[in-house]
A and B are shown apart, each in its own frame.
Chain A
Amino acid sequence: AQSVTQLGSHVSVSEGALVLLRCNYSSSVPPYLFWYVQYPNQGLQLLLKYTSAATLVKGINGFEAEFKKSETSFHLTKPSAHMSDAAEYFCAVSLSSGGYNKLIFGAGTRLAVHP
């Protein structure tokens, strides 16, 4: 069975500091991995996805994530945090590339950015 663990329900960083949000997955087959972000009063927005191509994936808003099979990790990073990055971030895994399959989410990490 597939599962996702996000370490740290809350992360706080200073503006300009490195953002690191951790995600570990469990999957019996090569997974497809995603990071979504939810800003207040909005739906989930896709930040980036890994679909077995390049292991370093670049997303929107300066975020990137690296797929490490040996560590079963897909951590999200951004070199310099902006105040506008304050939101909740969700890591998710999906099995199939068939164009349709359910997403299995982690519990989410709420990122706070302070001046």
Chain B
Amino acid sequence: EAGVTQFPSHSVIEKGQTVTLRCDPISGHDNLYWYRRVMGKEIKFLLHFVKESKQDESGMPNNRFLAERTGGTYSTLKVQPAELEDSGVYFCASSHLSTYNEQFFGPGTRLTVL
């Protein structure tokens, strides 16, 4: 069974540009989460999808971040326009609705905004 995959693994962009991160969850996982780790600090929750619906987006920093999950499969996280403070590692995780919060994480996308 394939794990959670994320693309790209690294992205370097200029301030003001747009970047789109993609996450493919484990097949059959209805829950999909985005987290972010900035500069060696703690990993912080961004948002949570149940299928295609946003269950909780309380961690989204501001309206420059837009997450979608079309058809309840893969998800994208777009940052537009990117700012310096958006640099960090963006993790995606997925889980079954029936499991005890056992979230399976992808390898992350390292975003650097110059």
Contacts and interface: CB of A to CB of B under 8 A. Distances in A.
Contact of A43 (B44, B48, B108): B108
Interface string A63-107: 000000000000000000000000000100010110111111111
A32 B101 contact: yes
A interface bracket (residues with beta carbon within 8 Å of B): 20 to 34
The 9 A-B residue pairs with the shortest CB-CB distance, nearest first, are: A44-B105, A43-B105, A102-B45, A105-B43, A43-B107, A99-B97, A107-B42, A100-B31, A105-B42
B interface bracket (residues with beta carbon within 8 Å of A): 20 to 34
17 contacts: A9-B40, A32-B100, A43-B4, A43-B91, A43-B106, A46-B102, A46-B103, A49-B102, A51-B100, A99-B95, A100-B50, A102-B59, A103-B33, A103-B43, A105-B35, A105-B42, A108-B42
B28 interface: no
Contacts of B104: 43, 46
Contact of B101 (A44, A99, A107): A99
Nearest to A102: B45
Contact of A101 (B35, B59, B101): B101
Given A43-B4, A43-B91, A107-B42, A102 B98 contact: no
B94 to A, nearest CB: 10
Given A36-B105, A49-B101, A90-B43, A99 B31 contact: yes
Main secondary structure on A side of the interface with B: loop
Interface of B: 3-4, 31, 33, 35, 40-45, 48, 50, 55-56, 59, 91, 93, 95-108
Contacts of B44: 105
B45 A107 contact: no
Interface of A: 4, 9, 32, 34, 36, 41-46, 49, 51, 90, 94, 96-97, 99-108
